Amino acid sequence: MKADVTCHAWLVEGSPFSFHFALSNPASATAPLWVPRVLEPLGAFVAVQILDGAGAVVYETNPPKFTPKLDPESRDAYVALDPGYSHGTTFVDERVALAPGDYDVKLIYSNLYFRGPAEHPLGEQRCSTVVRYSKR
């Protein structure tokens, strides 16, 4: 079963580099959408790629190894989004150090091995979004 999930992101002004990232269930959906309750750590479910004006990758997160506290086989590890609702969190990445200029910040989501409990399989979820970023 392939779930339709949509990514949204907003950059947070100031330093260190921060952004709010949210997953949403489209308003046109006909059923609730389950997504992982905990979206951290950065680089795991949500990866960052920053591209310069020439399209070259100038920064990207490395996927960390992480030990979840919520069992991916458990319902507690998920949030059910009704159509039109979203679930997100704010990420802070202190490693980002960019020269002044214009960039595309690409946020890529995957539910990894969080494929839902046996009674509610989610399948693979993927989406991405790009936010324009001007570093002054």
Partner 1 sequence: MTNKEFRPGRSALTGDGMAPGPTSAVGKRTLTEALPSTAPKAETKGGGTAKLDAGLGDAKGVEAAPMDAGGAKAAAAARVVPKFVLSEKEGARSNTKAATTDTDNPTFTGKIVKDGGGWRYQLASVESKGTIDLVYYTADHYPAPTPNDDSGDLSNVTKDNWKDIVKDLKDHRTIVAGNWSSYRRTYLHEHYHWETEWQGEVKKALIKAEDEIAKLSSAAATEADAKAELEPKATKIFNDHMRAARTAYNALPDTPGSAPYVAGAAGVDALVKRVEAHASSQKW
At 21, is the secondary structure helix, strand, or coil? strand
Span near partner 1 by CB under 8 A; candidates 6-14, 17-25, 60-68, 116-124: 60-68
User: Which residues are paired to 88 by β-bridges?
Assistant: 22
* Contact call for residue 117 and partner 1 (CB under 8 A): no
**Binding to partner 1 (CB under 8 A): which residues in 6-45?**
37-38, 40-41, 43-44
* Contact call for residue 124 and partner 1 (CB under 8 A): no
Which amino acid is located at 110 in the chain? S
- Kindly determine how many residues on this chain lie close enough to bind partner 1 according to the rule CB under 8 A: 19
Q: Site for partner 1 (CB under 8 A): which residue of 63, 79, 83, 131? A: 63
* Contact call for residue 118 and partner 1 (CB under 8 A): no
* Contact call for residue 69 and partner 1 (CB under 8 A): yes
Q: Site for partner 1 (CB under 8 A): which residue of 11, 51, 70, 98? A: 70
From residue 73, alpha-carbon distances to 69, 112, 113, 115, 116 in Å are: 12, 13, 10, 8, 6
Angle at 114 between CA 106 and CA 58, to 5 degrees: 20
Instruction: Extract the tokens encoding 15.
Output: 């330093």
- CB burial class (10 A; 0-12, 13-18, 19+) of residue 68? middle
For partner 1, which is the closer residue by CB, 22 or 39?
A: 39
Query: Could you list the residues that contact partner 1 (CB under 8 A)?
Result: 37-38, 40-41, 43-44, 62-73, 113
